[in-house]
Amino acid sequence: MTKTNEYWIWKSEKGKNTCEKCKSLDGKIFYSEDEIPEKPHPNCKCEVVKVVSEEKYEKCDCKELLNKTQNAVENIIAETKTYLGTIQEINTDCEINKESLRDLLNKAYVIKDEYENELAKHLKTCANNKDEEYKEITQKIIDFEKLKKENETNSAKIYELNKNFQNFDKETRVHLVDIQQLKEYSADTPHKKDECKILEDVLDLQTKTKLVNSQFQDYKKQLLEIRTKKQNIIKAINSNIRLKNLKDYKFKKLLSSISLTPDEQICRFGSYGVDKYMHEQLKLANTSLQNAIDDFKYTKNNPNVKKVDMLADVKDWRLKKYMLSNDIPVNSPGVIFNSNAAETRKLWLTDKIQKYVKEHIKDLKENKEPILQDLEFLSDKDLDAYLALQHCKMYNPHITKDGYFEATIYDYYNYEHRDYKFDAKGLGKKTKDLVSTYLNNWGYTMQEKGLLENYFVIYKIREKIW
C-alpha cells in the first residue's frame, strides 16, 4: 500500500443556504485528488483544503479486502452446488453397479454349479474336460466379489461426502452472511489503516475464507478419487456384463439344437415376408426388428445411433432413475438414437407427438422441472410407432429459449405372449393387428429360447418449431 503525507479536507460554508449535499461532505477526508468529488452545484461556496502532515500514513484497504473475500466465498458456494449434483449422479451409478454386480454373481454361480456337475463325468484326459473353464468362472466370481466390496466402500464414501458437502454448504453460507454484515458496518470513505475499526475483523474473515477454500479443495480431491473408482468399476462390469469371455458349452449346444419354425426363420434370417413389408414403409419397427435379430449390427455403421452395454452408460442420471423406477433392469443393453437419426425424425412427425406439442405449447415454454409422460401410439394413426413402441415414456418434454422442442422417448422390449384377434373390422385393421401380434409373439418365442436379449431404446428429439 502506498504511503503519503498529503490529504484533502472538504469544508462547507455552513450557512443557512447551505444545501444538504454540501453539509454531508463537510469534514470528509480524501487521500488523493482523484477521490475528490465535483462540487454539487454552480456557485458552490465549499472549499477543499490540502493538508501536509509530518506523519506519514497508509490508506486502509478493508473495503477492497471485503469485496475480494465475498467474491471468493460466492464462487465456492456456486461450485459446491455443481459438486452436489455430481454426488447425486455418482450415488445413482453406485446403486446401478450394485444391481449389475448382483446379477453377474447370480449368473456366475449358476454356471459354476453346471461345471461342477460336469467335472465328475470326465477324466482329466477327456477332450470334454472342463477344468480350465471351471477355473475361469471361479476366478470371475472372486473378481466380482471384490468389485462388489469396492462398490460398497465407494457407496459409503459418497454418502459420507454428501453429508460433509451439505454441512459445508450451510457453514459457507453463514460465513457469507458474516462478510455481508461486516460490509454494511464498514466505512464508506477512505481512512487511515491505523484508524480502521473493522480491519481486524476483515483479516479474521480472510483467514477463515482461506481455511474454507482449503477444506473445499480437500472435498474436491475426495470426490475425484471416488468418481475415478466408480468409473473403473463400471468398466470392469461392462467388460463382463454378459460373461462374454466364458465358454458356456451348454448354451452353445442349446443354440445348435434349436430348430426354428418357418415363420421364425423369416424374421431370423430372411429379407422377405414381414421383413419386406416393413423395410421402408415402417422405418421404426424395421429398425427395432433388425437390431433384435442381428445383435445390434444396424448401429455399427450409423453415426447417429449408439449401442450401450448397460443402463449405467446412459449419462443423464435423472433419466436413469426414471428408467429404473419403470423396472428396466440395470444390466440391460440399449440403443440410443440421437436427434439426427432418421428414426427419431420419423417419431417426431407422428400424429401423437405433433398433437401433444400443439396442446401443451404454453406449459412446454415455461420449461418446468423434468416430467415423465405416458405415450400410447395407435395403429390407425401412427402404425410405424405402434408396431415399434406402442406404449412408451416421454421424459422431460420442453421448448428451449431458442425455439427447439426437446424430449427423450424410451421403451423397454420385454415381450409377453398375445392371443390373435380376428374380429377387427376391415382388411387394413385386421392386417395391422395380425402383423403386430405376430411380431410380438415372435419376440416372445425368441426370448424364451434365449435367442433374443431384452433391451431398451432411447430416442432424443430436438426439432425447431419457430
Strands (E) in 270-415, as ranges, are 305-308, 334-337, 372-376, 391-399, 404-413
Tell me, what's the pLDDT at 352? 92
Of the candidates 458, 455, 454, 437, the one whose C-alpha atom is nearest the C-alpha of residue 446 is 454
The answer to whether 196 touches 66, Cβ cutoff 8 Å, is no
Which residues have a Cβ under 8 Å from the Cβ of 228 and sit 6 or more positions away? none
Of the candidates 47, 45, 52, the one whose C-alpha atom is nearest the C-alpha of residue 36 is 47
Under DSSP, is residue 240 helix (H, G, I), strand (E, B) or coil?
A: helix
Tell me, what's the pLDDT at 185? 76
| Helix and strand totals (H; E) in the chain | 15, 9
Tell me, what's the pLDDT at 28? 81
Query: For the sheet containing 3-11, what is the strand order?
Result: 29-30, 3-11, 47-58
Integer Cα distance of 149 and 92 in angstroms: 17
Where are the alpha helices (H) located in 192-315, listed in sequence order?
199-240, 249-257, 262-269, 274-278, 283-293, 297-300
Q: What is the DSSP letter of 459?
A: E
Under DSSP, is residue 263 helix (H, G, I), strand (E, B) or coil?
A: helix
Extents of the domains making up the chain: 3-59, 63-240, 258-464
Integer Cα distance of 389 and 353 in angstroms: 13
Tell me, what's the pLDDT at 394? 94
Tell me, what's the pLDDT at 289? 64
The b-or-e profile of 251-285 (16+ CB within 10 A means b, else e) is: eeeeeeeeeeeeebebbbeeeeebbeebeeebbbb
Integer Cα distance of 398 and 407 in angstroms: 7
Tell me, what's the pLDDT at 280? 47
Integer Cα distance of 79 and 222 in angstroms: 15
Integer Cα distance of 205 and 199 in angstroms: 10
Integer Cα distance of 36 and 187 in angstroms: 16
Pairing status of strand 455-464 against strand 334-337: parallel
> pLDDT 10s per residue in the chain (466 long)?
444 567 788 888 877 778 888 888 887 877 777 788 888 888 888 888 887 765 555 777 888 888 888 999 999 998 888 888 888 888 888 887 887 788 778 777 877 776 776 665 555 555 555 567 777 778 888 888 888 899 899 889 888 898 888 889 999 999 988 888 888 877 666 677 777 888 888 888 888 988 888 889 998 888 888 888 888 887 777 766 545 444 344 433 333 333 334 344 333 433 334 444 444 456 676 677 666 655 666 677 788 888 888 888 888 888 888 888 888 888 788 899 999 888 888 899 999 999 999 988 888 887 667 888 899 988 778 878 887 788 899 999 999 888 899 999 999 987 777 775 656 565 556 556 666 676 667 667 666 655 566 789 999 999 988 7
Tell me, what's the pLDDT at 260? 39
Q: Does domain 63-240 have CATH number 1.20.1260.80?
A: yes
Integer Cα distance of 324 and 302 in angstroms: 27
**What is the amino acid identity at position 306?**
K
How crowded is residue 139: how many other Cβ atoms within 10 Å of its Cβ? 11
Residue keyed to cell 428408467: 323
The answer to whether 190 touches 62, Cβ cutoff 8 Å, is no
